[in-house]
Amino acid sequence: MGIYDTLLALILPYAAFGIPITMLILVTFMRDIPSSLFEAMELERASHMQTLRQLVVPLTRPALVTVAIYNAIQIWNGFLFPLILTQSENTRALPPPCGTSRASTRLTCRPSWPRSVTLSTLPLILAYVVGRRQLISGLTAGFGK
How confident is the model over 52-111, as pLDDT tens digits?
Answer: 999 999 999 888 988 988 888 888 877 777 878 888 777 766 555 454 444 444 445 555
Q: Is residue 1 part of a domain?
A: no
Phi, psi of 92, deg, nearest 5: -75, 145
Distance (Å, rounded) from C-alpha 2 to C-alpha 9? 9
Distance (Å, rounded) from C-alpha 104 to C-alpha 102? 6
pLDDT at 43: 95
Q: Is residue 14 part of a domain?
A: yes
Question: How many residues make up the chain in this entry?
Answer: 145
pLDDT at 140: 64
What's the whole-number average pLDDT of the chain? 79
pLDDT (average), residues 36-64:
93
pLDDT at 16: 93
User: What domain range is 83 assigned to?
Assistant: 7-139
**Whether this model's pTM surpasses 0.75:** no
Q: Is residue 134 part of a domain?
A: yes
Q: Is residue 104 part of a domain?
A: yes
Q: Residue 52 has what DSSP assignment?
A: I
Distance (Å, rounded) from C-alpha 69 to C-alpha 136? 11
Distances (CA, A) of 107 to 62, 74, 95, 120: 41, 24, 13, 19
pLDDT at 142: 55
Sequence-ordered list of residues with C-beta below 8 angstroms from that of 98, at least 6 positions apart, any chain = 107, 108, 109, 110, 113
Total domains present in the chain:
1
Which comes out higher in pLDDT, residue 128 or 114?
128
pLDDT (average), residues 112-134:
75
pLDDT (average), residues 32-59:
93
Q: What angle do CA 51, 56, 62 make, to 5 degrees?
A: 160
pLDDT (average), residues 13-27:
92
The answer to whether the CB of 66 falls within 8 A of the CB of 130 is no
Distance (Å, rounded) from C-alpha 59 to C-alpha 73? 23
pLDDT at 105: 45
Q: Is residue 2 part of a domain?
A: no
Q: Is residue 24 part of a domain?
A: yes
pLDDT (average), residues 114-142:
74
Q: Is residue 30 part of a domain?
A: yes
Q: Is residue 145 part of a domain?
A: no
